A = this chain, B = another copy of it.
């Protein structure tokens, strides 16, 4: 595979460039920072109607428009758009590709700061944290002339960023909506991420992370990583409803080839993923999720991270989400209560698992729209 012909290499993304250096948690300074982003709607004259949407592990900035690589609809078109819960007729929506990503923001596919022109970071890209991602987003928000965000909203790893935003920049976030997330990555979630990483390392085309040199991608390992992650995004009920034990075609007892529909589906999920995502970014971002631990950052008392916060919170979880179960959102809600924060917490009944935050869940959408409308009134946003 000729990487220069890869859509990841050829698609041009709208982006901002910062050359004043970004100090990362690991101690490395990125001399040059690019933040690729998309916006929807119009910033009002008071610059008070901006909502930052934070994407999850394999998401990107193409929230509410066709994806430039796959051509598929934006990943949150159900939530962001005219008349949607995040109504682009009312709000100015920003979404940036995370630091370490592969859709235009600085990451393993970017040119090294400290090497001759054209040499990419690749495997040598420094480890980043959720806080580093949020620092990069803050630069973009300032660049757009916005002092205070009306809201920060995101699910899963996006929800981690929401919590980090509220903890790091409390005066700059009027409202925060962390969805299907947690204050730290659990041992089980770290374990599943580690399986994905080991699958990538086991691929012969991984070549110790220097796969670009040979024009290959560790497609099989990355596909296995995607497959195992995908199972964790669905509930047992959702898998059973979608596939049960149905066989494909007239399959009979055989050793190989996909036999059950669920196998075929997972293999498809894995093989299409490798065309739109980079293995080094996958490693970088899963590591960032694993590092995330706001409780440890607060010396064991999560409420300290939100002491005297002016931000209004709406925490949302889903009953059948076993990757980020309700108990983890409840723990955040308790900490916010101890910090005397303004917090509401809604558990949405759904059998769709973690994926529910991306799907058509009217109860979730009503909750989100209602919370934002209430905050908008309180913030004095014109209707």
Q: Mark A231-275, 1 if CB is under 8 A from B, else 0.
A: 100101001101111000000111100111011001100100000
Interface of A is mostly: helix
Confirm or deny: A109 has a beta carbon within 8 angstroms of a beta carbon on chain B. no
Known: A198-B224, A220-B201, A245-B293. Is A190-B262 also a contact (CB below 8 A)?
yes
Size category, A interface: 35 or more
Confirm or deny: A78 has a beta carbon within 8 angstroms of a beta carbon on chain B. no
Partner of A228 from the list B195, B202, B239, B262 (CB cut-off 8 Å) is B195
In the complex, which residues of chain B have a beta carbon less than 8 angstroms from the beta carbon of A18?
none
In the complex, which residues of chain B have a beta carbon less than 8 angstroms from the beta carbon of A287?
255
Q: How many copies does the complex hold?
A: 2
In the complex, which residues of chain B have a beta carbon less than 8 angstroms from the beta carbon of A119?
none
Q: Mark A187-218, 1 if CB is under 8 A from B, else 0.
A: 11011101100110111100000000000000
CB pairs A–B below 8 angstroms (10 shown) = A184-B245, A185-B245, A186-B236, A186-B240, A187-B236, A187-B262, A188-B240, A192-B228, A198-B227, A202-B221
A198 pairs with B220, CB closer than 8 A: yes
Partner of A127 from the list B126, B127, B253, B263 (CB cut-off 8 Å) is B253
B236 pairs with A129, CB closer than 8 A: no
With A and B bound together, what is the CA distance between A208 and B243 in angstroms? 28
In the complex, which residues of chain B have a beta carbon less than 8 angstroms from the beta carbon of A195?
195, 224, 227-228, 231, 266
Confirm or deny: A322 has a beta carbon within 8 angstroms of a beta carbon on chain B. yes
With A and B bound together, what is the CA distance between A343 and B146 in angstroms? 68
Confirm or deny: A1 has a beta carbon within 8 angstroms of a beta carbon on chain B. no
With A and B bound together, what is the CA distance between A239 and B255 in angstroms? 33
Partner of A26 from the list B186, B253, B262 (CB cut-off 8 Å) is B253
Give the Cβ gap from A352 to chain B, nearest Cβ, in Å. 14
Top 6 A-B residue pairs of the complex, sorted by shortest distance between their CB atoms: A202-B220, A204-B204, A187-B239, A26-B253, A194-B263, A188-B236
Known contacts A202-B202, A255-B283; 5 additional CB pairs below 8 A are: A190-B263, A191-B262, A194-B260, A195-B195, A253-B291
Give the Cβ gap from A258 to chain B, nearest Cβ, in Å. 8
A243 pairs with B187, CB closer than 8 A: yes
Interface residues in A109-138 by Cβ distance below 8 A to B read 123, 125-127, 129
With A and B bound together, what is the CA distance between A244 and B296 in angstroms? 12
Confirm or deny: A284 has a beta carbon within 8 angstroms of a beta carbon on chain B. yes
What residues of chain A have their CB less than 8 Å away from a CB belonging to chain B?
Answer: 25-26, 123, 125-127, 129, 184-188, 190-192, 194-195, 198-199, 201-204, 220-221, 223-224, 227-228, 231, 234, 236, 239-240, 242-245, 252-255, 258-260, 262-263, 266-267, 270, 283-284, 287, 290-291, 293, 296, 322, 325
In the complex, which residues of chain B have a beta carbon less than 8 angstroms from the beta carbon of A291?
253
Give the Cβ gap from A216 to chain B, nearest Cβ, in Å. 12
- Which residue from chain B places its CB closest to the CB of A263 in the assembled complex? B194
With A and B bound together, what is the CA distance between A221 and B224 in angstroms? 10
In the complex, which residues of chain B have a beta carbon less than 8 angstroms from the beta carbon of A198?
220, 223-224, 227, 267, 270
Known: A224-B224, A253-B127, A255-B123. Is A187-B245 also a contact (CB below 8 A)?
yes
A127 pairs with B223, CB closer than 8 A: no
B227 pairs with A194, CB closer than 8 A: yes
B188 pairs with A202, CB closer than 8 A: no
